[in-house]
Structure 1
Amino acid sequence: MPAQQGASMTASRLDAVQKSGVLRICTPGDYRPFSFQKADTSYEGIDVDLMTAFGGSLGAKPEWIKTTWANLLPDLAAGKCDMAVGGVSVTTDRQKRAFFSAPYMVNGKTPIARCADVAKYQTVEQIDKPEVRVIFNPGGSNERFARTNFKRAKLTLHGENVTIFDEILANRADVFVTESAEAITQQKLKPGLCAINPDKPLQYGEMAWMLPRDDVAFKAYVDQWLHLSQAGGEFQRTMDRWLK
């Protein structure tokens, strides 16, 4: 008798999404230009457009599940969604509990400040002074970067990523360190704010989509779709719509 096969293959979300016709996507929805929830509760951004196209390849429509940066990984791990997107930085801490897609953007940590103060905040050392008020949002890589790198500056946790930039304009904070793409986007939206050396970030970083751990078939499909989208030009057209 042939040796018995091991345990049956674990069911993949690749099959479940195709069967249900729904792709459940967790996102904080507060991070332009990746994913932003508008006043009418709909979403827009780079990842929103890409997920619509990706879902279409599986015959599925996106179902957006609002979360926070602190709950993004726990919600994915709990099975509340099939993917987590919206400007997610690749970190080893997250890798311990989830898979990442192949990275689709290099996007390092960049300060944003009032334009009049750009010369003052060129480096971590210049920012990390007792008189400098550093603001950050909770639960993600921005908080981790601030707490790791700024030991002397005055740190302020601000719960709303959408309004964090207004705190700088109102002179209630001096510097926010975030990904270069967000800093560039916000300087366009908020006159008076300037991204500081976004082409030379303070820390190297990559963006990717977060996927359920151990679902090898689903990750393989996501990576293959991303590769073909990049090679065929659709991916770059999406990027150009939001970043140029």
Structure 2
Amino acid sequence: MRKRWRFIGLFSALALLLITMTSCGTKTALSDQDVLQTDVKDNTITWGVKADTKLFGLMDIKDSKVKGFEIDLAKAMTKEILGKNGKAVFVPVTSQTRVPLLRNGNIDAIMATMTINPERAKQVDFTKSYFDAGQAILVKKGSPIHSVKDLNKKGAIVLGVTGSNSVQNIGKFAPKAKVLQLSDYAQALTALKSGQGDALTTDNGILYGMSVENPNYVVVGGSFTNEPYGIAVNKGQTKFKNRLNKALTKVEKDGTYNKLLDKWFGHVKGFNYEEMKR
């Protein structure tokens, strides 16, 4: 497990370096181009995805490939847009790096557990939702914390990820709790295990992925927010956004979407994925 976290950390560092190098250059940003036209010409769509989030996008250290629901969905949508020989390229991102990488033109679209909300909609354009998540909390088995309300008691320390809206939500639902922000989910989970926090909060699907690998940790209290995930593209890329929406609708109608839900979430105990089927 430690090797995987070091691997994810390396990707995060490389992503930050890529952002810095691109920002310092004089070349016109790729985000100013017609992304759909360029992707069709190159027969490739470059996706920003999570590489530290089990079930959605997690690096497999055996073959150095990112695997998960979002990866498979991006592949299916790429084939729908570009044809059977279309290529999907995946660039690992974090909650901090995903928007800068998009703006700099290093990636064409973000499919990385990114919740659609008004603040983010000021920075990027979203497709329709492809996954209806909700924020929850993860605790060690036997913890006295059973819901978000318990976080107010005794000034509980809640672990979150910088750049996610989960941290802001805790301020609304548990204003007396103290929040410790980490750079990614791997670090946040490590902090929970080492006793640096009483609970870890983010979207329920992500937390259930953690509990699958760490059975001594459980999701409690149910969801206390609605967190619809959308695919983000740069402002002004209307044709690309519309084409993504069309592809998403197609894979939903032909059954591909539900097959992927079954594949990645059908075995997850306690997670009601059936209500997300389309």
Rounded to whole Å, the distance in 2 between the matches of 1:48 and 1:121 is 32
5+ unaligned residues in a row in structure 2: which ranges? 1-31, 267-278
Structure 1 residues 139 and 11, CA gap change in structure 2 (3 angstroms): closer
Rounded to whole Å, the distance in 2 between the matches of 1:100 and 1:37 is 25
Rounded to whole Å, the distance in 1 between the matches of 2:33 and 2:132 is 32
Rounded to whole Å, the distance in 2 between the matches of 1:146 and 1:69 is 17
The answer to whether the 8 A contact 1:133-1:154 is kept is yes
Rounded to whole Å, the distance in 1 between the matches of 2:50 and 2:130 is 19
The answer to whether the 8 A contact 2:146-2:221 is kept is no
The answer to whether the 8 A contact 2:51-2:58 is kept is yes
User: Could you tell me how far 1:150 is from its partner in structure 2?
Assistant: 4.0
Rounded to whole Å, the distance in 1 between the matches of 2:186 and 2:146 is 22
Is the aligned partner of 1:12 residue 2:34? yes
**Structure ranking higher on relative contact order (CA contacts 8 Å, 6+ apart):** 1
Normalised by the size of structure 1, how large is the TM-score? 0.87
Rounded to whole Å, the distance in 1 between the matches of 2:38 and 2:184 is 34
One-letter amino acid of the counterpart of residue 131, structure 2: M
Instruction: Tell me the secondary structure at the aligned position of residue 176 of structure 1.
Output: strand
Residue matched to 2:215: 191
Instruction: Tell me the secondary structure at the aligned position of residue 238 of structure 1.
Output: helix
The answer to whether the 8 A contact 2:167-2:179 is kept is no
One-letter amino acid of the counterpart of residue 155, structure 1: V
Q: In the alignment, which of 37, 46, 51 is matched to residue 59 of structure 2?
A: 37
Is the aligned partner of 1:90 residue 2:116? yes
User: Could you tell me how far 1:132 is from its partner in structure 2?
Assistant: 1.2
Q: CA RMSD in A?
A: 1.9
Is the aligned partner of 1:210 residue 2:232? yes
Residue matched to 1:141: 165
Select the structure of larger CA radius of gyration: 1
Rounded to whole Å, the distance in 2 between the matches of 1:102 and 1:22 is 22
The answer to whether the 8 A contact 1:31-1:86 is kept is no
Normalised by the size of structure 2, how large is the TM-score? 0.77
Rounded to whole Å, the distance in 1 between the matches of 2:234 and 2:177 is 37
Instruction: Tell me the secondary structure at the aligned position of residue 15 of structure 1.
Output: helix
Structure 1 residues 105 and 55, CA gap change in structure 2 (3 angstroms): same
What are the Cα deviations for residues 7-33 of structure 1, in whole angstroms up to 9, with x where unaligned?
Answer: xxx963222111012211122422222
The answer to whether the 8 A contact 1:13-1:82 is kept is yes
Rounded to whole Å, the distance in 1 between the matches of 2:78 and 2:167 is 31
The answer to whether the 8 A contact 1:89-1:206 is kept is yes
Rounded to whole Å, the distance in 1 between the matches of 2:163 and 2:169 is 11
Q: In the alignment, which of 137, 141, 146 is matched to residue 121 of structure 1?
A: 146
**Aligned sequence identity (%):** 16
Residue matched to 1:72: 98
The answer to whether the 8 A contact 2:36-2:239 is kept is yes
The answer to whether the 8 A contact 1:85-1:210 is kept is yes
Rounded to whole Å, the distance in 1 between the matches of 2:33 and 2:94 is 28
Rounded to whole Å, the distance in 2 between the matches of 1:147 and 1:79 is 33
Instruction: Tell me the secondary structure at the aligned position of residue 136 of structure 2.
Output: strand
The structure with more helix, counted as a fraction of residues: 2
The answer to whether the 8 A contact 2:77-2:251 is kept is no
